[in-house]
Amino acid sequence: MSVKFQTVGSLLRPKELLEYKSLIERRDGIKYPFYNEFPGYKEAEEKATIDVVKKQAEHGLSVLTDGEHSKSLWHLDFVWGLAGVERYIAEHGYFFRDKCDCGKYETRRDIGLRITGPLSGKGHHFIQIFKRLKELAGDQDTKLCVPSPSHIFGELSWSDNIGGKDSVYANPQELKEGLANAYKEFIYEYADAGGKILQFDDCLWEIFADDNPNSPYTGGNIDQEAVKALATEFIDLNNSLIAVGHSLNLAMWTHNCRGNYASRNMGGGSYAKIADLFLKGQQYDRFFLEWDDDRAGSLEALQAFKNKKAEIVLGLLSSKINTLDDETRALRMLEEASKIIPKERLLLSHQCGFASCDGGNELTEDEQWAKIDQGQRLALEYWGE
């Protein structure tokens, strides 16, 4: 199989595990990681993880995850595991574009985050998750996926968690410093546990693209200098934590997409509009980017990487559909990309995971593995390795 084909991280959960995840989604007042609330849940998660790690190896994947079977949502489980955070069921979920493009699609509602004390990443449950993965993977490479610091800073700072009479953090600057410290504590413990690859996932870059019709920052009355200043703040926050990882000899990767929930997306925005900021400005070692449809725009955005050493994983395939992808298109776009970035710095993937949140996209496990096998075949055909 080819090391040039990669997965973003998440894989479909089996029915036995989803039964517990469904219970979690509907219960308020429970404490992460929820094992004590649901007898049998921990055992179901462990069994599912054993199975999915084995299947990844059988299908020739060179970097293994736990399929994110330990998570309910791609980003919030990490935040739930920080000291100083409470989870609650909000009045509404996130809103995605429905597949018919005729309205909004509401996600699950257990997305509320309440800061109750100073944030800390010490003793995070994700370290135990990683140790289990590392043991199951043996000699194979592993990675852990967590939300980027800037994504979580964005979500928390746009909530009612700062500035109130009883707020832990009086302003966004205090919140950012507290969050950065919590991430730093976590990164140190991850490296100490034997971690080698840490991936920051991020869905906020495209809100800064002025060709994104779904962005709150699109329109003639927006102060674009203030928007650029916020984007720069996000980038600087990420880079500060990337530097911590690099100081501990971690490979720091990132994945970016425009939303992935039940085969639906959240919005548009091309990479060309944010290339000089988020592509050129961030110091990651590997970028997983999505190019499964025309929302991402031209591959010319890859020009931003010409003077960098980073590897680029082109998400030319789709995890949202249950059919195999157009191989002619994928090979054509790989060839087009290689005229901008040297072929040896390129890799291939699907645009996102198959189950960013536990319900997953609208395909079966068999269809998922068939799509992964197709990705392997395409990588072998293009790179010959």
Q: What is the pLDDT of residues 332-356, one digit of tens each?
A: 999 999 999 999 999 999 999 999 9
pLDDT value at residue 158: 84
Rounded to whole angstroms, the Cα distance separating 340 from 153 reads 33
369 assigned to some structural domain = yes
279 contacts 304 by C-beta, under 8 angstroms: yes
Average pLDDT over residues 88-114: 91
Q: Kindly indicate the confidence band of residue 163, based on its pLDDT and cuts at 50, 70 and 90.
A: confident
Judged by DSSP in three states, 100 sits in coil
Is the pLDDT score of 218 beyond 80? no
Beta strands in 60-219 (DSSP E): 63-64, 83-88, 95-97, 104-106, 112-120, 141-142, 144-147, 197-202
Q: Kindly indicate the confidence band of residue 165, based on its pLDDT and cuts at 50, 70 and 90.
A: confident
113 assigned to some structural domain = yes
pLDDT value at residue 164: 83
Tokens of 67: 């399929």
Side chain identity at residue 105, one-letter code: Y
Is the pLDDT score of 114 beyond 90? yes
Number of domains in the chain: 1
Beta strands in 121-209 (DSSP E): 141-142, 144-147, 197-202
Residue with tokens 């413990």: 189
Q: Kindly indicate the confidence band of residue 311, based on its pLDDT and cuts at 50, 70 and 90.
A: very high
Rounded to whole angstroms, the Cα distance separating 285 from 117 reads 33
Tokens of 134: 């590392």
Q: Kindly indicate the confidence band of residue 239, based on its pLDDT and cuts at 50, 70 and 90.
A: very high
pLDDT value at residue 36: 96
**Which tens digit of pLDDT belongs to each residue from 187-199?**
999 999 999 999 9
Average pLDDT over residues 150-161: 92
Nearest to 260 by CA among 203, 217, 315: 203
pLDDT value at residue 223: 85
Average pLDDT over residues 170-192: 97
- Proportion of the chain above pLDDT 70, given as a percent: 99
252 contacts 200 by C-beta, under 8 angstroms: yes
* CATH number of the domain that residue 199 is part of: 3.20.20.210
85 assigned to some structural domain = yes
Average pLDDT over residues 151-159: 93
67 contacts 13 by C-beta, under 8 angstroms: yes
Tokens of 311: 């590897």
pLDDT value at residue 216: 85
Average pLDDT over residues 203-217: 90
Nearby residues of 67 by Cβ (< 8 Å), 6 or more positions away: 9, 10, 11, 12, 13, 48, 49, 52, 53, 56, 355
9 assigned to some structural domain = no
Side chain identity at residue 110, one-letter code: D
Nearest to 16 by CA among 47, 60, 38: 47
Work out the mean pLDDT of the chain and round it to a whole number: 96
373 assigned to some structural domain = yes
6 assigned to some structural domain = no
Tokens of 322: 């249950």
**Residues 207, 208, 209, 213: what is their CA dihedral angle, to the nearest 10 degrees?**
40
**Which tens digit of pLDDT belongs to each residue from 249-296?**
999 999 999 999 999 998 889 999 999 999 999 999 999 999 999 999
Nearby residues of 284 by Cβ (< 8 Å), 6 or more positions away: 200, 242, 252, 253, 254, 310
Q: Kindly indicate the confidence band of residue 103, based on its pLDDT and cuts at 50, 70 and 90.
A: confident
pLDDT value at residue 275: 97
Rounded to whole angstroms, the Cα distance separating 245 from 179 reads 16
Output 28-34 pairs: Cβ under 8 A, ≥24 positions apart. Answer: 28/88, 28/89, 28/110, 29/88, 30/87, 32/77, 32/80, 32/81, 32/87, 32/125, 33/70, 33/77, 33/80, 33/81, 33/125
Rounded to whole angstroms, the Cα distance separating 232 from 218 reads 17
8 assigned to some structural domain = no
Is the pLDDT score of 33 beyond 80? yes
Residue 355 to residues 179, 213, 273: CA-CA distances in angstroms? 26, 25, 28
Is the pLDDT score of 219 beyond 80? no
pLDDT value at residue 166: 87
pLDDT value at residue 267: 85
Partnered with residue 86 across adjacent β-strands are: 114
68 assigned to some structural domain = yes
- Proportion of the chain above pLDDT 90, given as a percent: 89
Q: Kindly indicate the confidence band of residue 224, based on its pLDDT and cuts at 50, 70 and 90.
A: confident
Judged by DSSP in three states, 87 sits in strand
pLDDT value at residue 126: 98
pLDDT value at residue 230: 95
Rounded to whole angstroms, the Cα distance separating 86 from 67 reads 25
**Domain containing 37: what range?**
15-383
Q: How many CA atoms lie within 13 A of 278 on its CB side?
A: 29
